[in-house]
Amino acid sequence: MSLPNTFSRRKREAKGSLDPFTYSNIPIKVRNQILQIFDEAIAIAEKSQESAYQSMSDFMRKELGVERLAVAYYRHEEFCKWFRSCSDTDSVVDAVELVCRMISIYKEQASYVNSRESLKECITEINDRLFEASLGFQYESGDIIQTDSKFLHTEAVLPAIHLLADAAFKSANDEFMSAHKAFREADYDGAIVECCKALESTLKVIAADRKWAGYETAPLKKLLQLAFDNELIPRFLESEFSGLRSILESGVGTVRNKAGGHGAGEKSSPATRHLAAFQLHQTAAAIVLLVEASSLP
């Protein structure tokens, strides 16, 4: 469902692209929009509004370690008052993720195709509202992930998530999503390590399917050697794109070794946010390339 073609939206678009993504504050306008979308989803799913908000209030009470989120008689009022006024952005993002997960559950439980499609559109609209407000968060595959570039997110990260959703790639998917979680929590070293593990796991699934000898204990460099030796990437492409092998071998693995892996010696350098973001994007692009080059899924 596309956003309404209003005067104010056309005016903003006429000035150029949206401002760069921000991560420090969720405006009250967006919070209200998300609550309104959730109320629409509850109605589509034919659920009890008070019961839905009670579930969310109970979850956030426990998560935050408080007796109540706000002074209110009804749980709907309690959650909404807290959600509109909370100053901790991470907690608000947790609540947005909770809203999206509940809508996803409603979608899976829906008996009618039209209801499922309408609930899917609710999640799409939440993502659209976040993007329109230049907020660097999107809900994908059950989690809120942080985005640094809408183009890279659309062209690399999303395809990687979709490809890894196949059951055969469960470990790689878990590691790739762990990398996003670590990135969101500012654990940039951890994000880099999980990226490397995700790429290794992806290659091992492909190697197992193709019965390549010696892949079981092979490190990343050896796995990439096997991929080229066994012509996962055809030799004519290898010669056409002479830098491809170098990028794969010295990209993900090297960043991990220099900034995120193999212990923390005296000369180690903590990974920065921009380095971890680069690692996420190049890992996603590499995964898409390798999985699509194989016959999997």
The mean per-residue pLDDT over the stretch 267-285 comes to 72
**pTM to 2 decimal places:** 0.56
Number of helices and strands in the chain (H, E)? 15, 2
Other Cβ atoms less than 10 A from the Cβ of 259: the count is: 19
Residue boundaries of the structural domains of the chain: 7-147, 158-293
248 falls in which pLDDT band (50, 70, 90)? low
17 falls in which pLDDT band (50, 70, 90)? very low
Residues 6 or more apart in contact with residue 42 via CB below 8 angstroms: 48, 49, 52, 106
What pLDDT does residue 217 have?
81
What pLDDT does residue 143 have?
86
Distance CA 21, CA 13 (A): 16
Burial class (CB within 10 angstroms; exposed 0-12, middle 13-18, buried 19+) of 108 = exposed
What pLDDT does residue 199 have?
86
> Residue 267: pLDDT above 90?
no
As a whole number, the mean pLDDT across the chain is 80
> Residue 31: pLDDT above 50?
yes
264 falls in which pLDDT band (50, 70, 90)? very low
**Residue-wise pLDDT tens digits, 46-87:** 999 999 999 999 999 999 999 999 999 999 999 999 999 999
> Residue 144: pLDDT above 80?
yes
What pLDDT does residue 239 have?
53
List 22's β-bridge partners, or say none. 135
Percent of the chain with pLDDT over 90: 36
3-state secondary structure at position 169: helix
> Residue 286: pLDDT above 90?
no
> Residue 7: pLDDT above 80?
no
Residues 6 or more apart in contact with residue 246 via CB below 8 angstroms: none
What pLDDT does residue 291 have?
85
What pLDDT does residue 110 have?
93
Choose the CATH number for 158-293 among 3.30.70, 3.10.350, 1.20.1070, 1.20.120.
Answer: 1.20.120
Highest mean pLDDT among 91-95, 139-143, 242-246, 277-281 belongs to 91-95
**Residue-wise pLDDT tens digits, 146-204:** 776 554 555 556 677 777 878 888 888 888 888 887 877 778 888 888 888 888 899 89
Question: What are the CA-CA distances from residue 27 to residues 84, 129, 154, 251 (Å)?
Answer: 9, 11, 24, 37
> Residue 292: pLDDT above 70?
yes
